[in-house]
């Protein structure tokens, strides 16, 4: 029997009921005649407080509120990948088919398709023992993803009956299990899981494998590990969304969950269109075949915006449990924090810094801690990587969301306004960004990229930091008065900035660059530096060196050497040698 009550007060997305009628915290409720979905967020003896995930326009006091008897949850079953959901997992495509271009209030749809029959291969038989997380069936969900239907985490017992291989809907029984308490439990493809509770795991591993993104500044300078956490803060127009799109397209995660939290509608449309056409170079499948989108755009109700982050996380954890590497793009976590602020204001809670609630930091840490490289209940390995965009107010990184995020992520990719103004993309500032994963990943680089990768990387960064120091002097007195060895550093740094750090997302070859090519590019640049340094040490002026086109040639490597033509790098080493010889001969 479900708990019911009647509405007492309405203030924006917050609805109150007088008295304590037996609702539980985080319980899902249906509010009013239109049965708007809501969640219980406060209980006192005098009053029950509910946040409603839809517009409350038209709601009267006195209308009925009915408890669903369970915490606000998502439905987990085949049909998630390639889909696009709102913040509480309602499929937007279906809502569009039912209701047209605009999303009406109180829309009632199935979260996942319950008619569709999925071809299932049953993995258990009568007499087997199942435990939580064990794979009971395999369903090809998309060409890229084999969906592993698992026993819910709390289930343990003996299989009394198992279905044959065949086509089933997500509600049909695949097996019957007698649990330890003697209950008979039917297992289907569907699980329910409350969004605010992390799904259980066996144990966590250190994050020591690179999430290969094909973006040079990330893979080389500021790598993110699988199961790691990263934040991308930047003012508007600095390219947060572009960076997230690039990562969603090219990173080597098995599955991408893209959460558009309080962002632009057109952006989500763009992702949807583009991902449905682009092909994953590694597998040949469409990118959409490994992607699920959550779109709670800025004009959709604020409470659902708050929930969208958790919905996305829960979907990610579910696929991680199957043994997949999942990457979450959360764009943007600031909108989520602002949703917290907005709701907190409506609840008249005591504000802390800049009006944000005092629990902002604990919510952020709880969010990022759900990332990790883990051993699942069924013994497989999987990971959830969280990459969160942060939209600091006024582009000022000292504001509370950026500062608190910094405490809980291990990779910080600071986007820079002046780089963006000069259209240097990705506009990641190499002086203020950092990663804590480099040390953990050293082993991976040695095994997969080459023993000298990290040394090259460190030298590159060293040249760049030296350049910034020299630039301080240049700003005061101009570059002409610098000694030639310092002018050389400026020139090489220019080559690194233009030829290596700048990456063109719209260029067919440059949009994704494999690790091997990144290493070769670094080596050519450093070889050029080494040879030039020798020439300068012999007393040759930089002006003479710059007469040659070799610097421009090295800068153009990113376009001129295709990702499959790595043998061409030998020619560049040869050209540098020729350049060196030529200068020696003509100026000896």
Partner 1 sequence: MSIEYLGLSEINGPLIVLEGVRDAFYEEVVEFVVGGKKRKKGKIVAVEEDKAVIQVFDNTDEMSLKNTHTRLSGHPMEIGLSLEILGRTFNGLGEPVDGLGRIKPEAVRDVNGLPLNPCMREYPRNYIQTGISAIDALTTLIRGQKLPIFSGNGLPHDQLAAQIVEQASLGEESKEQFGIVFAAMGVKYDVAEFFRRRFEDSGVSSHVAMFLNLSNDPVAERLITPKVALTAAEYLAFEKGMHILVILTDMTSFAEAMREVSASKGEIPSRKGYPGYLYSELAALYERAGIVQGKEGSVTQIPILTMPNDDITHPIPDLTGYITEGQIVLERALHQKNVYPPINVLPSLSRLMKDGIGAQYTREDHQDLANQLFSSYARVGEARDLASVIGEDELSGTDKKYLQFGARFEQEFVAQGADENRTIEQTLDIGWELLHILPKEELDRIDTKILAKYYT
Least separation in angstroms between CB 8 and partner 1: 5
Which region, judged by CB under 8 A, interacts with partner 1, from 223-231, 275-283, 418-426, 427-435? 418-426
- 477 near partner 1, judged by CB under 8 A: yes
Which region, judged by CB under 8 A, interacts with partner 1, from 269-277, 440-448, 451-459, 579-587? 269-277
Binding residue for partner 1 (CB under 8 A) from 2, 11, 192, 587? 11
Q: What angle do CA 146, 152, 155 make, to 5 degrees?
A: 135
Per the CB < 8 A criterion, the answer to whether 370 and 317 are in contact is: yes
- The rounded radius of gyration (Å) of the Cα atoms in the chain is 28
The C-alpha torsion from 484 through 485 and 488 to 493, rounded to 10°, is: -140
Nearer residue to partner 1 within complex by CB, 101 or 588: 101
Least separation in angstroms between CB 248 and partner 1: 16
Least separation in angstroms between CB 375 and partner 1: 37
Which region, judged by CB under 8 A, interacts with partner 1, from 215-223, 299-307, 362-370, 430-438? 299-307
Nearer residue to partner 1 within complex by CB, 95 or 134: 95
Least separation in angstroms between CB 472 and partner 1: 12
Nearer residue to partner 1 within complex by CB, 207 or 259: 259
Binding residue for partner 1 (CB under 8 A) from 272, 374, 489, 513? 272
239-268 residues near partner 1, rule: CB under 8 A: 260, 262, 264-266, 268
> Residue 123's Cα: distance from chain center in Å?
32
Which region, judged by CB under 8 A, interacts with partner 1, from 35-43, 281-289, 323-331, 417-425? 417-425
Which region, judged by CB under 8 A, interacts with partner 1, from 126-134, 198-206, 232-240, 565-573? 232-240
Which region, judged by CB under 8 A, interacts with partner 1, from 12-20, 198-206, 483-491, 512-520? 12-20
Least separation in angstroms between CB 45 and partner 1: 18
> Residue 437's Cα: distance from chain center in Å?
17
Least separation in angstroms between CB 323 and partner 1: 30
Per the CB < 8 A criterion, the answer to whether 579 and 547 are in contact is: no
Distances in whole angstroms, Cα of residue 299 to Cα of each of 261, 292, 333: 10, 21, 16
Least separation in angstroms between CB 98 and partner 1: 10
Give which of 225, 270, 254 is closest to 316, Cα–Cα. 254
Helix axes 302-321 and 333-346, enclosed angle (nearest 10)? 130
Which region, judged by CB under 8 A, interacts with partner 1, from 121-129, 137-145, 368-376, 422-430? 422-430
Q: Are strands 4-11 and 381-390 parallel, antiparallel or unpaired?
A: unpaired
Q: What angle do CA 244, 250, 252 make, to 5 degrees?
A: 110
Nearer residue to partner 1 within complex by CB, 178 or 363: 363
Binding residue for partner 1 (CB under 8 A) from 344, 405, 435, 503? 344
Nearer residue to partner 1 within complex by CB, 479 or 563: 479
Q: What tokens appear for 400 in the block? A: 């509370």
3-state secondary structure of 454: helix
Exposure of 179 by Cβ count < 10 A (0-12 exposed, 13-18 middle, 19+ buried)?
A: middle
Nearer residue to partner 1 within complex by CB, 78 or 239: 239
456-475 residues near partner 1, rule: CB under 8 A: 474-475
Least separation in angstroms between CB 235 and partner 1: 8
Nearer residue to partner 1 within complex by CB, 351 or 379: 351
Nearer residue to partner 1 within complex by CB, 62 or 182: 62
Least separation in angstroms between CB 218 and partner 1: 21
Per the CB < 8 A criterion, the answer to whether 238 and 398 are in contact is: no
Least separation in angstroms between CB 267 and partner 1: 8
Per the CB < 8 A criterion, the answer to whether 332 and 312 are in contact is: no
Site string for partner 1, 76-115 (x = CB under 8 A): --------x-------xx-xx--xxxxxxx----------
Nearer residue to partner 1 within complex by CB, 384 or 419: 419
Nearer residue to partner 1 within complex by CB, 180 or 475: 475
30-69 residues near partner 1, rule: CB under 8 A: 55-62
Give which of 286, 299, 302 is closest to 340, Cα–Cα. 302
Exposure of 106 by Cβ count < 10 A (0-12 exposed, 13-18 middle, 19+ buried)?
A: middle
Q: Strand ranges (DSSP E) for 348-401? A: 372-375, 381-390
502-541 residues near partner 1, rule: CB under 8 A: 506
- 28 near partner 1, judged by CB under 8 A: no
Give which of 506, 510, 519, 580 is closest to 545, Cα–Cα. 580
| Cβ partners under 8 Å of residue 254, min gap 6 | 144, 145, 290, 319, 324, 325, 326
3-state secondary structure of 18: strand
Give which of 531, 471, 491, 434 is closest to 223, Cα–Cα. 434
174-213 residues near partner 1, rule: CB under 8 A: none
Number of residues in contact with partner 1 under rule CB under 8 A: 83
Exposure of 205 by Cβ count < 10 A (0-12 exposed, 13-18 middle, 19+ buried)?
A: middle
């Amino acid at each position: 029997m479900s708990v019911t009550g009647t509405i007492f007060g309405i203030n924006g997305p917050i609805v109150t009921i007088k008295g304590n009628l037996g609702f539980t915290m985080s319980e899902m409720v249906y509010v009013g005649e239109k049965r708007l979905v809501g969640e219980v967020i406060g209980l006192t003896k005098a009053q029950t407080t509910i946040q409603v995930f839809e517009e409350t326009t038209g709601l009267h006091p006195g209308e009925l509120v009915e408890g669903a008897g369970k915490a606000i949850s998502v439905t987990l079953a085949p049909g998630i990948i390639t889909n696009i959901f709102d913040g509480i997992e309602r499929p937007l495509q279906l809502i569009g088919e039912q209701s047209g271009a605009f999303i009406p209030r109180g829309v009632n749809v199935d979260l996942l398709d319950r008619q569709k029959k999925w071809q299932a291969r049953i993995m258990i038989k009568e007499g087997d023992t199942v435990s939580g997380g064990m794979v009971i069936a395999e369903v090809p969900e998309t060409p890229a993803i084999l969906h592993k239907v698992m026993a819910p985490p709390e289930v343990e017992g003996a299989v009394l009956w198992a279905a044959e291989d065949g086509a089933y809907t997500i509600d049909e029984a695949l097996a019957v299990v007698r649990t330890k308490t003697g209950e008979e439990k039917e297992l289907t493809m569907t699980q329910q899981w409350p969004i605010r509770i992390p799904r259980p795991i066996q144990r966590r591993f250190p994050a020591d494998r690179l999430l290969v993104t094909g973006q040079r500044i990330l893979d080389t300078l500021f790598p993110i590990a699988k199961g790691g956490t990263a934040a991308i803060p930047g003012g508007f127009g600095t390219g947060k969304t572009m960076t997230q799109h690039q990562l969603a397209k090219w990173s080597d995660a098995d599955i991408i969950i893209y959460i558009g939290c309080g962002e632009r509608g057109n952006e989500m449309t763009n992702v949807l269109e583009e991902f449905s056409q682009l092909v994953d170079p590694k597998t040949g499948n469409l990118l959409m075949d490994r992607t699920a989108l959550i779109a709670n755009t800025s004009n959709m109700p604020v409470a659902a915006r708050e929930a969208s982050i958790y919905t996305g996380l829960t979907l990610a954890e579910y696929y991680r449990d199957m043994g997949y590497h999942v990457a979450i793009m959360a764009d943007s976590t600031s909108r989520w924090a602002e949703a917290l602020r907005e709701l907190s204001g409506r609840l008249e809670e005591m504000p802390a810094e800049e009006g944000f609630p005092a629990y902002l930091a604990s919510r952020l840490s709880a969010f990022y801690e759900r990332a990790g490289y883990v051993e699942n209940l069924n013994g497989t390995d999987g990971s959830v990587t969280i990459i969160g965009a942060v939209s600091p107010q006024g582009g000022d990184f000292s504001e509370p969301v950026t500062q608190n995020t910094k405490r809980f992520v291990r990779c910080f990719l600071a986007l820079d306004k002046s780089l963006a103004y000069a259209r240097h993309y990705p506009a990641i500032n190499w002086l203020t960004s950092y990663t804590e994963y480099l040390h953990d990943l050293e082993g991976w680089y040695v095994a997969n990229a080459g023993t000298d990768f990290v040394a090259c990387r460190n030298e590159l960064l060293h040249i760049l930091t030296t350049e910034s120091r020299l630039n301080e002097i240049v700003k005061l007195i101009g570059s002409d008065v610098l000694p030639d060895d310092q002018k050389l550093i400026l020139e090489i740094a220019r080559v690194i900035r233009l030829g290596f750090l700048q990456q063109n997302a719209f260029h067919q070859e440059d949009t994704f660059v494999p690790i091997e090519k990144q290493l070769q590019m670094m080596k050519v640049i450093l070889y050029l530096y080494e040879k030039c340094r020798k020439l300068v040490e012999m007393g040759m002026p930089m002006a003479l060196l710059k007469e040659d086109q070799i610097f421009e040639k090295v800068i153009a490597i990113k376009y001129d050497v295709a990702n499959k033509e790595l043998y061409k790098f030998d020619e560049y080493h040869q050209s540098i040698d020729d350049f060196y010889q030529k200068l020696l001969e003509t100026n000896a």
